[in-house]
């Protein structure tokens, strides 16, 4: 029998908290084009086990639904976290337009009590441990919003294919209901850097699964450094690069010849014949590469002064 090509109206449901803490935190790939990641780099390679049909995922309006919450200044560790997240959300909306919908919950920050693990013997059960006062910090409504939106879209016939990016069992009931009451295909992408410890409850409810997101997929799915907006452009935060301190020193060092940061980045992102056809922006990730770029800039400035 000939292979059939199933064209499925597809929507991606992303748990932003899970994606960030499971895969993006500490990486240089946070300036991520969510639509490109899934529709260009993940979904084209999806196969449903036991089926000979090839899936073609057709993007719907609001093809990506991104569930997140604004970081609170009360809990943000980095000084620029709030501003960086705001820039990213604006960049996504300006770049993807109707292809994305950002649906926000909120952070709950309350004083509470909890049992302290005994520092000398962690086998002591909670009932015998000291009670201490703590700050309880939780992201609220994200999983509820995601579960309800996905079920609504499936039951009203808006989609043929729902892809969940999460490792959170709280949405399992939604997947069960979608499978019970609709013919919508379900995919689950676990936002991890490797395939360890996928949530089996979610995996068992899916028609297909991906147990990790690899580095090459993230690398190929980055937004442009500058995203134009109606009033103001959104620029990738310096702290979201691999080596922000080194990058800042390069910016400072190059000011005599490239005072405009935008022009400097054009130079940094191009292969340089004087640096073995490497991109300076990639070179500064290693210590040797950083010093080579620094030496080249200093040499260039010196030659201009002569």
Could you tell me if 163 and 100 lie in one domain? yes
Is 47 part of a structural domain of the chain? yes
Question: How many CB atoms are closer than 10 A to CB 300?
Answer: 14
pLDDT higher at 294 or 140: 294
Could you tell me if 146 and 247 lie in one domain? no
pLDDT at 3 over 60: no
Q: Which of 193, 227, 261 is the last residue of a domain?
A: 227
**Residue 48 belongs to domain spanning:** 5-105+141-227
Is 205 part of a structural domain of the chain? yes
Could you tell me if 262 and 212 lie in one domain? no
Could you tell me if 157 and 284 lie in one domain? no
Range 25-50 average pLDDT: 93
Query: Can you say whether the dihedral through the CA atoms of 14, 17, 18, 21 is positive or negative?
Result: positive
4 band by pLDDT with thresholds 50, 70 and 90: low
Could you tell me if 73 and 175 lie in one domain? yes
1 band by pLDDT with thresholds 50, 70 and 90: very low
* Mean of pLDDT over the chain: 93
Is 113 part of a structural domain of the chain? yes
Could you tell me if 165 and 285 lie in one domain? no
CA distance 294 to 151: 54
Could you tell me if 38 and 172 lie in one domain? yes
How much is the pLDDT for 52?
66
Structure tokens, 135: 């700050």
Range 81-105 average pLDDT: 96
Q: Which region among 85-89, 135-139, 235-239 has the lowest average model confidence (pLDDT)?
A: 135-139
Could you tell me if 130 and 179 lie in one domain? no
> Pick from 205, 204, 157: which is nearest to 183 by CA?
157
Q: What is the dihedral of CA 118, 120, 125, 129, to 10 degrees?
A: -30
55 band by pLDDT with thresholds 50, 70 and 90: confident
* Bridge partners, 133 (sequence order): 113
Is 236 part of a structural domain of the chain? no
Q: Which of 194, 227, 260 is the last residue of a domain?
A: 227
Range 2-19 average pLDDT: 86
Range 205-214 average pLDDT: 94
How much is the pLDDT for 74?
86
Could you tell me if 90 and 174 lie in one domain? yes
CA distance 295 to 300: 9
In angstroms, the first-to-last Cα distance of the chain is 75
Q: Which of 227, 259, 287 is the last residue of a domain?
A: 227
* Bridge partners, 5 (sequence order): 54
Could you tell me if 60 and 129 lie in one domain? no
DSSP category for residue 284: T
**Percent of the chain whose pLDDT exceeds 90:** 81
CA distance 280 to 252: 15
Q: Assign residue 14 the CATH number of its domain.
A: 3.40.50.1010
Q: pLDDT, tens digit, for every residue of 274-297?
A: 999 999 999 999 999 999 999 999
Is 258 part of a structural domain of the chain? yes
- Residue 253, C-beta contacts closer than 8 angstroms, at least 6 positions apart: 294, 297, 298, 301
To which H or E segment does residue 298 belong?
A: helix 287-305
**Percent of the chain whose pLDDT exceeds 70:** 96
Is 71 part of a structural domain of the chain? yes
Is 60 part of a structural domain of the chain? yes
How much is the pLDDT for 47?
82
Could you tell me if 218 and 260 lie in one domain? no
Q: pLDDT, tens digit, for every residue of 23-36?
A: 999 999 999 999 99
Total domains in the chain come to 3
The SS3 of residue 21 is: helix
CA distance 30 to 52: 36
Could you tell me if 163 and 19 lie in one domain? yes
Q: pLDDT, tens digit, for every residue of 222-265?
A: 999 999 998 899 999 999 999 999 999 999 999 999 999 999 99
CA distance 159 to 162: 7
Is 233 part of a structural domain of the chain? no
Residue with tokens 């940094």: 268
CA distance 289 to 287: 5
């Amino acid at each position: 029998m000939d292979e059939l090509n199933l064209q499925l109206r597809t929507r991606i449901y992303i748990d932003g908290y899970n994606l960030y803490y499971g895969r993006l935190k500490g990486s240089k790939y946070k300036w991520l084009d969510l639509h490109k990641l899934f529709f260009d780099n993940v979904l084209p390679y999806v196969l449903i086990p036991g089926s000979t049909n090839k899936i073609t995922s057709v993007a719907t309006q609001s093809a990506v639904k991104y569930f997140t919450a604004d970081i609170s200044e009360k809990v943000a560790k980095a000084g620029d976290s709030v501003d960086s997240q705001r820039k990213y959300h604006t960049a996504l909306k300006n770049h993807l337009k109707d292809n994305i919908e950002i649906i926000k919950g909120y952070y709950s920050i309350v004083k509470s009590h909890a049992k302290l693990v005994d520092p000398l013997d962690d086998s002591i059960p909670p009932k015998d441990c000291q009670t201490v006062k703590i700050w309880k910090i939780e992201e609220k409504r994200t999983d509820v919003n995601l579960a309800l939106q996905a079920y609504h879209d499936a039951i009203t016939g808006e989609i043929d294919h729902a892809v969940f990016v999460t490792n959170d069992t709280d949405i399992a009931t939604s997947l069960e209901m979608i499978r019970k009451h609709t013919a919508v295909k379900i995919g689950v992408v676990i936002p991890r850097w490797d395939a360890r410890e996928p949530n089996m409850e979610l995996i068992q409810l899916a028609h297909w699964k991906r147990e990790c997101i690899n580095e090459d997929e993230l690398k190929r799915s980055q937004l442009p450094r500058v995203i134009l907006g109606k009033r103001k452009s959104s620029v990738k935060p310096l702290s979201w690069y691999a080596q922000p301190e080194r990058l800042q020193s390069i910016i400072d060092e190059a000011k005599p010849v490239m005072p405009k940061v935008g022009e400097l980045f054009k130079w940094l992102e191009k292969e340089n014949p004087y640096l073995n056809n490497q991109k300076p922006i990639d070179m500064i990730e290693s210590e040797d590469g950083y010093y080579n770029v620094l030496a080249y800039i200093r040499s260039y400035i010196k030659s201009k002064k002569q």
